[in-house]
Amino acid sequence: MTNQALMRQGSKSFFAASRLLPSRFQQAAVDLYGFCRVTDDAVDESGATPQVMAELHRRLDAIYRGRPMPIPEDECFAQVVTTHRLPKAIPLALLEGFEWDAQGRTYETLDDLCDYGARVAGTVGAMMALVMGVREARPMARACELGVAMQLTNIARDVGEDARMGRLYLPRAWMREEGLDPDAWLAAPAHGPEIKRVVARLLAAADQLYRKAEEGIWFLPRGCRPAILAARHIYADIGHEIGRSDFNPIDRRAVVGGRQKIWRLIQSLPALILAPRLPRGHKPLAAIEFLVEATGISMAQIRPRSVAEKAGWMVDLFITVESRHQEIRGMRQGSMSRTILERSRGA
């Protein structure tokens, strides 16, 4: 199966949005998805046993040595790695996320869940951003957060399907706040007002990240903006579909129809000229900071200053301004002295 067929089968939403990417980026996006898909499938089919994970790490090592194993997805991904200089730490984090899946790790809080989302989806956002030439902290952080938002949507959509396989990704602390025992609910998953509120809360967190992530679209090459904006809206629409079904992902799986996807693609085309630009300055998710740093970009570029740092900056500014004023006064006085001296000599 080709990488394009893998994407079409595995993520129809991502595939639809990717069709808007310029041709010079489209193949890299497809090949990136293909590698992520086959590695995920390897873990799902065989579990993250020490043997399976060791093999995946050997494959990744071979890719980064420039001698990928004779596996089509690895060979294609190796080309993406070389062409777009993808740091190895990012796909390593992806493998770590797959290991968490197979280990049956549970997530107590939203922050814990975002740590997971950063690994299995924020990594894809980071690699896609690098493919599109992003080398600044702010848009890189927004790309990673967009990936996390999409993963939160996926988790909300798949609550019922995951539960029937014995998996639970919802924040357990939220469930207990609603009077639900997570393990008891997992043993007999059913829709009800309590689980409805937990799912709605998770989708609200995803929507907040979607809105914040739009800022990064402004920094992308113009030709890439419509595809990423369309992906943002198509994934958010999955959450809206869940909401229209009374936030019940237990008894049915939310799907965004083809017409809605086409409409979102059309709506995103004006981003070729203008892109959403929201107020800057929101604090990036702590969960994605390690990914931004892994790309070689310093988070210090966007990390808010502390009060002490701002005060120190103001003092330094005043000292610099005053020093400059003294220099100017000194230059003026020196010029006036020379003028007076020249006139006295002339007299």
pLDDT at 177: 98
Lowest mean per-residue pLDDT among 65-74, 154-163, 247-256, 327-336: 327-336
Q: Read out DSSP for 204-227?
A: HHHHHHHHHHHHHHTTS-GGGHHH
On the question of pLDDT at 11 being above 60, the answer is no
pLDDT band at residue 243 under the 50/70/90 scheme: very high
Q: Phi and psi for 53 in degrees, rounded to 5?
A: -65, -35
What integer pLDDT is reported at residue 8 of this predicted model? 46
Output the pLDDT for position 43.
85
Report helix, strand and coil shares of the chain as percent, to nearest 5: 75, 0, 25
**Cβ burial 312-339 (10 Å sphere, 16+ → b, else e):** eeeeeeeeeeeeeeeeeeeeeeeeeeee
Q: What is the pTM of this model?
A: 0.82
Q: Estimate the crossing angle of helix 193-217 against helix 137-157, to 10 degrees.
A: 150
Give the C-alpha separation, 160 to 70, whole Å.
38
pLDDT tens-digit map of 133-147: 999 999 999 999 999
Please answer whether residues 38 and 91 qualify as being in contact, where contact means their C-beta atoms are separated by less than 8 angstroms: no
The per-type count for the chain, helices as H runs and strands as E runs, is 17, 0
Q: Taking 70 as the threshold, does the pLDDT of residue 209 lie above it?
A: yes
What six digits make up the tokens of 77? 């991904």
Which tokens belong to 83? 């062409």
Instruction: Please state, in angstroms and as integers, the Cα–Cα distance from residue 209 to each residue in 70, 147, 224, following that order.
Output: 39, 9, 20
What's the chain's average pLDDT? Answer: 85
Mean pLDDT of 215-233: 91
| Interval 323-343: pLDDT, tens | 555 555 555 555 555 555 555
